[in-house]
Copies of this chain bind each other. A is one copy, B any other.
């Protein structure tokens, strides 16, 4: 099936869900422009989710996407968390932070029956997942209200697995994409290939529509993705300076600076591998440090450092998520950017 028809969109543009830098406003603007706006839900409480969905429903009649993580939360691992605190202790000293006040709290929860209960009230037309898929009975609830199901593949094997598990379309995430790698059948970074390499191989391997993500920043990039056989393009980074984004000041400054040219995959901020602009913490600990505990446990200890540094106008401890191509970032409305991306 044609992806426009499947998702009910006019333009082959999907705005990537980006937890921490956007909420309902960005999604509404994109959906109203004819693309597919996305709401990142992994960091929302049940109440927060209900509030965001109410706002979307009140401001658009167009299709939209809600995005969830579906990782298996790790067992608490006190020795690993102590090791991580020890690694970070010079920074706690520097900022006068009392380590004993740090509480482990995830901040990122997987899709659950409670979340499905809230979704059922709103019946979002598209639900997308990162890190595989939730259990079958949760997927069936989504199908029950006619919701279409998307999930992320970073390898050919993952794409085949997702098709076998019944997704309606595959988000093929090239290695240049910003934020968390959606990989779930592998944790080997060397399996993560670029959009140019990944899209043709996934298109050849599956029958469902493929949506290209990673490094796409303008209408030429969208056309290139379509030439590779994708049915649509998912774009994240280019939206991060838009009026409706809630991107922090330090993050906006970094995106507009030359330092945005150098990104790396890092596990320091959540424990999971994600692409961000290289900053002080990544330089000093190395972007991948084995002392960081499993996803999403690393973030609790980073939180007070991040807050303190950001209060001083510094992004030294912030996850400055960005893809490898920031050349499309524009300080305009997300609706205008969506039309530009579609070549209008």
Binding site for B on A (CB under 8 A): 155-156, 174-176, 188, 190-191, 193-197, 200-201, 204, 214-218, 220-221, 223-229, 261-264, 278, 287, 323-325, 327
Contacts and interface: CB of A to CB of B under 8 A. Distances in A.
A188 B156 CA distance: 29
Copy tally for this chain in the complex stands at: 2
B194 A176 contact: yes
A325 B201 contact: yes
A224 B228 contact: yes
B278 A325 contact: no
Contacts of A188: 262
Contacts of A195: 194, 196
B191 A194 contact: no
Contacts of A227: 220, 223-224, 226-227
Given A175-B194, A194-B215, A278-B190, A327 B204 contact: yes
A221 B225 CA distance: 9
Contacts of A217: 197, 200
A323 B229 contact: no
B224 A197 contact: no
Given A220-B229, A224-B225, A278-B190, A197 B325 contact: yes
A327 to B, nearest CB: 5
B191 A216 contact: no
Contacts of A176: 193-194, 196-197
5 contacts: A188-B262, A196-B196, A197-B324, A200-B220, A201-B327
B215 A221 contact: no
A263 to B, nearest CB: 7
A211 to B, nearest CB: 14
A87 B196 CA distance: 36
Nearest to A193: B324
Given A176-B197, A196-B215, A197-B324, 19 more contacts: A155-B261, A176-B194, A190-B263, A190-B287, A191-B261, A193-B324, A193-B325, A194-B215, A194-B324, A196-B325, A197-B217, A197-B323, A200-B217, A204-B327, A220-B228, A221-B228, A223-B227, A224-B224, A224-B225
In the A-B complex, list the 10 residue pairs whose CB atoms are closest, starting with the nearest.
A196-B215, A197-B325, A194-B194, A197-B324, A224-B224, A197-B215, A193-B324, A224-B227, A223-B227, A176-B194
A220 B175 CA distance: 19
Contacts of A324: 193-194, 197
Contacts of A228: 220-221, 224
Nearest to A229: B220
Given A200-B218, A327-B201, A174 B190 contact: no
Contacts of A225: 224
Nearest to A325: B197
